[in-house]
């Protein structure tokens, strides 16, 4: 698939932009702060309905210099799958629910999920190795939704139930000692939320396990390519449910067969839901004391290893870059080989946002050689010299949020 046309209104620094694109490699060149990243961020937003740079959509609406603040931003693109184009549009409305259109007809925003697949590699991706588990959970969930777009609804449902159950736990903590009738009512309601959260969380966990299983061989081969065979990259799903049940945490020393066995025990949604419900029931007292949900998909993690050591805390800066890059390239390869999607045309648009300047020459050349044959690659760079010679293609100049083609 590829994006053939992009239009922006009041998105980030762009008052209005229309730009035509084509398959192959397109590089957007310009000094920092001129709008390159904003442009590719808009394309990625249509894919995941979230920004890879900020958590709040409000920041995506252009801030007017004249004091007249736009009410929202519009991102519109024509996406081509084989010979079949789709026009997708999202209206980002500050302080309100977003609106969406598919082929000019109104739809729910989540109905756009899966129409455009993107994989973004940006300097912020070091967070995949360095930062807290939430970053890696989002990484897995984004990929799971691209593989199974119906999971977008499950993800929203899970987060809503999680927040409502946490609110009930805090209320129960506040009402302790105020009378047995109110607590009995709250505990009865809590059991209902247990079942609902367990059902939604189990579907997410099973989807993540599928992603990890499919991603694993690609991470190993991509890390080998970008690192020059320096060490072996491994990944494992770290489950709060398994930890609660007393299972051994995934570590290289325990043997990868044990890791695979543990993950296979999380592959049946109905069974996982039943186990989660039991775990939640046994944690009610502790959860009320802390006012927090203590077991489930929201407390899981993706463990990353280089050789026999955890990447977080032990990997060098260069190794962290290589591993982050391998995770994104592996995502691209996994989606590209998802041959059942879109009649065999599920290859994602690959976005390389200001990454070449941060890589040494060996990693630059390795990355360039791996992506040169992709159906569509969008590159941003401050200067032409940052783009490897092997990535010949269209060149666009970006200055003051104006885009012109060479």
Known binding residue 38? Answer is: no
| Longest Cα separation, the chain | 75
Known binding residue 30? Answer is: yes
Exposure class string for 208-218: b at 16+ Cβ within 10 A, else e: bbbbbebbbeb
Average pLDDT over residues 325-354: 87
CA angle 176-276-182, nearest 5°?
A: 20
Known binding residue 35? Answer is: yes
Q: Which two tokens stand for residue 110?
A: 């989540």
Residue 53 pLDDT: 85
Q: Which two tokens stand for residue 84?
A: 């079949």
| pLDDT band at 358; cut points 50, 70, 90 | confident
Average pLDDT over residues 3-8: 98
User: CB–CB of 76/7 below 8 Å?
Assistant: yes
pLDDT digits 0-9 by tens, 279-330: 999 999 999 999 999 999 999 999 999 988 899 989 999 899 999 999 999 9
CA angle 254-259-262, nearest 5°?
A: 120
Known binding residue 105? Answer is: no
3-state secondary structure 350-392: EEEECCHHHCCHHHHHHHHHHHCCCCEEEEEECCHHHCCCCCC
3-state secondary structure 249-272: CCCHHHCHHHHHHHHHCCCCHHHH
Exposure class string for 276-286: b at 16+ Cβ within 10 A, else e: bbbbbeebbee
β-pair partners for 351: 120, 378
Known binding residue 133? Answer is: no
User: CB–CB of 351/378 below 8 Å?
Assistant: yes
| pLDDT band at 87; cut points 50, 70, 90 | very high
Q: Give CA–CA dist 250/258, Å, rounded.
A: 8
Q: Give CA–CA dist 173/53, Å, rounded.
A: 36
Residue 253 pLDDT: 54
Residue 345 pLDDT: 74
Residue 54 pLDDT: 81
Known binding residue 34? Answer is: yes
Reply yes or no on whether the pLDDT at 254 is more than 80.
no
Residue 106 CB coordination number (10 Å):
10
Domain boundaries of the chain, sorted by first residue = 133-216+225-302
Residue 238 pLDDT: 94
- Residue at token pair 């129409």: 115
What is the model's pTM? 0.92
Average pLDDT over residues 125-130: 94
Residue 35 pLDDT: 94
What percent of the chain is predicted at pLDDT more than 70? 95
pLDDT digits 0-9 by tens, 172-203: 988 876 666 777 888 899 999 999 999 999 99
Known binding residue 32? Answer is: yes
Q: Give CA–CA dist 47/68, Å, rounded.
A: 29
φ and ψ of 181, to 5 deg = -65, -45
The CATH code of domain 133-216+225-302 reads 1.20.1050.90
- Mean per-residue pLDDT over the chain, rounded: 91
Residue 199 pLDDT: 98
């Amino acid at each position: 698939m590829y994006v053939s046309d992009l239009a922006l209104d009041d998105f980030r620094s762009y008052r209005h932009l229309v730009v035509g694109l084509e398959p192959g490699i397109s590089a957007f060149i310009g000094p920092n702060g001129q709008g390159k990243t904003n442009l590719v961020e808009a394309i990625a937003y249509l894919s995941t309905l979230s920004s890879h740079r900020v958590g709040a959509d409000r920041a995506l609406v252009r801030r007017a210099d004249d004091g007249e603040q736009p009410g929202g931003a519009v991102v519109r693109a024509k996406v081509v799958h084989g010979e079949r184009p789709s026009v997708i549009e999202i209206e980002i409305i500050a302080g309100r629910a977003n609106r969406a259109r598919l082929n000019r007809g109104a739809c729910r925003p989540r109905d756009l999920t899966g129409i455009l697949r993107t994989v973004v590699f940006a300097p912020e991706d070091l967070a995949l190795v360095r930062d807290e588990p939430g970053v890696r959970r989002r990484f897995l969930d984004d990929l799971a939704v691209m593989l199974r777009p119906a999971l977008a609804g499950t993800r929203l449902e899970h987060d809503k139930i999680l927040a409502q159950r946490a609110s009930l736990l805090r209320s129960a903590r506040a009402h302790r000692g105020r009378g047995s009738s109110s607590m009995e009512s709250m505990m009865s309601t809590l059991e209902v939320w247990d079942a609902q959260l367990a059902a939604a969380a189990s579907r997410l966990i099973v989807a993540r396990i599928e992603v990890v299983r499919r991603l694993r061989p690609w991470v190993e081969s991509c890390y080998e390519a970008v690192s020059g065979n320096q060490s072996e990259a491994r990944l494992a799903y770290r489950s709060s449910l398994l930890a609660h049940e007393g299972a051994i945490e995934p570590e290289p020393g325990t043997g990868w067969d044990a890791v695979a066995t543990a993950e296979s025990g999380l592959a049946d949604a109905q069974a996982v839901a039943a186990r989660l419900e039991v775990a939640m029931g046994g944690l009610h007292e502790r959860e009320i004391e802390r006012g927090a949900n203590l077991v489930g998909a929201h407390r899981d993690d993706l463990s990353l290893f280089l050789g026999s050591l955890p990447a977080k805390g032990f990997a060098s800066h260069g190794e962290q870059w290589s591993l982050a890059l391998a995770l994104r390239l592996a995502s691209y390869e996994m989606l590209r080989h998802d041959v059942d999607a879109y009649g065999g045309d599920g290859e994602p648009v690959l976005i390389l946002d200001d990454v070449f300047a941060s890589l040494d020459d060996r990693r630059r050349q390795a990355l360039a050689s791996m992506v040169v044959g992709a159906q569509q690659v969008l590159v941003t760079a401050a200067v032409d010299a940052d783009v490897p010679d092997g990535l010949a293609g269209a060149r666009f100049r970006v200055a003051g949020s104006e885009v012109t083609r060479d």
